[in-house]
Amino acid sequence: MRPRAMIAAFATAVSISAASLAATLGGVDYATQYDYREFFAATDNKPFRVILVGNPFPALPPEEVAGQILPLMQANKPPPNLTFTYAVPAELPRPDYRLVLVFNPALNLGADPVCQGQKRHAAAPAEGRVYVFAVYCRNDQAMSQVTGWTFASSPADPGMGGLFKDLFNVLFDRSPALRPQSGPSPSFR
């Protein structure tokens, strides 16, 4: 094989491998009250509850999937020193901050209803494709939301880690542009 052909074959293999790890995100939205600083203060050095709704890998028991997904989320967590957990406290804190991951969500399922406990699913996607609707909740209100999908055949698939990393970077956006404005808006004369 000629050197150029070898380089082209290698580049194709690398791009296919990278594409299989990439997640596709959409449906991003932030409440006007969303403030990353609040998220950081609520989760830094604390447990952060995750609620899983649905099973992205129906061939596996939900408990097994949940057990394998938790370390993936932890490895791809956002910057606060938080610890993801499924444990429900005996008494819910106020405010009650949590992450809800709805796998195979119904197309008409909104973020606030998810925070209020609604669960609706669509038909399972083609095998090897994982869809998720991620919602960051404060009490019954959604602070941020994003949808995402990737190709993955099991929880251990590298595409799942990439999906969580991308989801968390969008769901818990650190941009100062998203901070709630304090004080009156500037007037233009």
Can you give the pTM of this predicted structure? Answer: 0.84
pLDDT digits (tens, 9 = 90+) for 1-31: 444 333 434 443 333 344 446 799 999 999 9
Domain hosting 69: range is: 23-175
Question: 40 in a domain, yes or no?
Answer: yes
HEC profile of 105-165? ECCCCCHHHHHCCCCCECCCCCCCEEEEEEEEEECCEEEEEEEEEEECCCCCCHHHHHHHH
Q: Specify if 2 maps to a domain.
A: no
Domain membership of residue 183 (yes or no) is no
pLDDT digits over 137-177, tens only?
Answer: 999 999 999 999 999 999 999 999 999 999 999 999 999 88
The DSSP secondary-structure symbol of 186 reads P
Tell whether 125 is covered by a domain. yes
Is 33 domain-assigned? yes
* Domain total of the chain: 1
